[in-house]
Amino acid sequence: MKKPPADKPSPSRKPKREIEFYPFPGDVVDALIRANYAPAWTLAAVIYKTWYRDYKNLNPVLVTSAILAKYGLTRHQKSRALKILEGSGQYILERAVNRNPLVMMKWKLVKEFVSGNTK
């Protein structure tokens, strides 16, 4: 007696490709080298990675301490690294009291979140 063929598992979805190359303008790289502060490199990479993974590619990017905690950055390192990135002239920061900053990469197209709650 022949056994019926086992059900084939459905093909799984391909995961989104990981970033293989981080394109940063020369001004950013120069500012990071001058600052000689490793957390600033980490922050620049995290901002780009967060932008890349967002399917809408929203720019500016909301930089939360929770996201940075995954990479071992404290809020104090975040604050100093943001000043370094802003000083490069390639990032624009929008700060509000007691809120996480929005960071815009000047070399990427600006796509802001538009809320449906307009009154």
Instruction: Report the first-to-last Cα separation within the chain, whole angstroms.
Output: 71
| Whether 81 contacts 68, CB under 8 Å | no
Q: What would the pLDDT profile of 13-38 be if each residue is shown by its tens digit?
A: 666 677 788 888 898 899 999 999 99
Phi, psi of 50 (to 5 degrees): -65, -40
Q: What is the mean pLDDT of residues 90-106?
A: 92
What confidence score (pLDDT) does residue 2 get?
Answer: 62
Q: How many beta carbons lie within 10 A of that of residue 84, not counting itself?
A: 21
| Whether 39 contacts 83, CB under 8 Å | no
Q: Which residues contact 113 (CB under 8 A, 6 or more apart)?
A: 56, 58
Q: Which domains does the chain have, with CATH numbers?
A: 26-105 (1.10.10)
Q: How deeply is 4 buried, as exposed, middle or buried, from its count of CB atoms within 10 A (0-12, 13-18, 19+)?
A: exposed
Q: What would the pLDDT profile of 41-97 be if each residue is shown by its tens digit?
A: 999 999 999 988 887 788 889 999 899 999 999 989 999 999 999 999 999 999 989
Report pTM. Answer: 0.75
What confidence score (pLDDT) does residue 1 get?
Answer: 60
